[in-house]
Amino acid sequence: CSENLPSGKATKPGDVVRAMTGKTIEVINTDAEGRLILADAIAYAKKLGATRIIDLATLTGAVSIALGDVNAAVLGTDQELIDEIIAAGNEVGEKFWQLPLDKEYSKQIKSDIADIKNVGGRKAGTITAAAFLKEFADGVAWAHLDIAGTAWGDEAKPYRSKGPTGIAVRTLINIVNRAARSEQDGP
């Protein structure tokens, strides 16, 4: 086994990095770098004044084990937003399945040397990845879509060809259209 260090500045397991919020993160797995970027993106959206945030990413292979290629996972802090995502997805033929985000899962991302660590143990990988992101989403309605299992289709469907699925794009467009109509109709 050899180290994967393209330069002397490469991140190594055991490094501690500081997020945009000031929170410190112990890097356990350098392959779980996407969630570090996503955490800062959530923090930045909050800084810009966002009150509702939906993030989506091919974040974990664990979601493929849990849900296969039929449903994308949805987790979050705001049940109304989660319900809206599921309903909007159903309207456009995209399936989402809510996974729990109970506080007990956050124990897996506790660190002895930093505020949190970037991965938990072997269990509940999709949930602990969302628990990591939740650390940066306090104070806003937030939902995370883990689309790793549904981002690629091995067979064609009536509404898409084989290959990249574009999962959640139609759902997000539907949510934005609903919000625009609601705003036009007024209170």
Q: What is the CATH number of the domain that holds 83?
A: 3.40.630.10
Closest CA to 76 of 84, 67, 87: 84
The structural domain count of the chain equals 1
Q: Report if residue 9 sits inside a domain.
A: no
Query: Whole-angstrom Cα distance, residue 132 to residue 112?
Result: 15
Mean pLDDT of the chain: 95
pLDDT at 161: 86
Asked, for residue 7, whether it belongs to a domain, the answer is no
The pLDDT confidence band at residue 6, using thresholds 50, 70 and 90, is confident
**Count of positions (residues) in the chain:** 187
Whole-number pLDDT of residue 99: 99
pLDDT band at 187 (very low <50, low <70, confident <90, very high): low
1 in any annotated domain: no
Euclidean distance between CA atoms 27 and 77, whole angstroms: 24
Is 11 within a domain?
A: no
Tell me which DSSP letter residue 6 carries. S
Residue 67 forms part of a structural domain? yes
Q: Distance (Å, rounded) from C-alpha 94 to C-alpha 151?
A: 11
Taking only the tens place, the pLDDT of each residue in 104-163 is 999 999 999 999 999 998 899 999 999 999 999 999 999 999 999 999 999 988 878 899
Domain that holds residue 61: 16-185
- Model pLDDT, residue 63: 98
Would 33 be classed as within a structural domain? yes
- Residue 34 domain flag: yes
- Looking at residue 170, its pLDDT comes to 96
pLDDT value at residue 3: 65
With a CB cutoff of 8 Å and minimum separation 6, the contacts of 157 are none
Q: Within a domain: residue 6? A: no
What stretch of H or E contains 43? Answer: helix 34-47
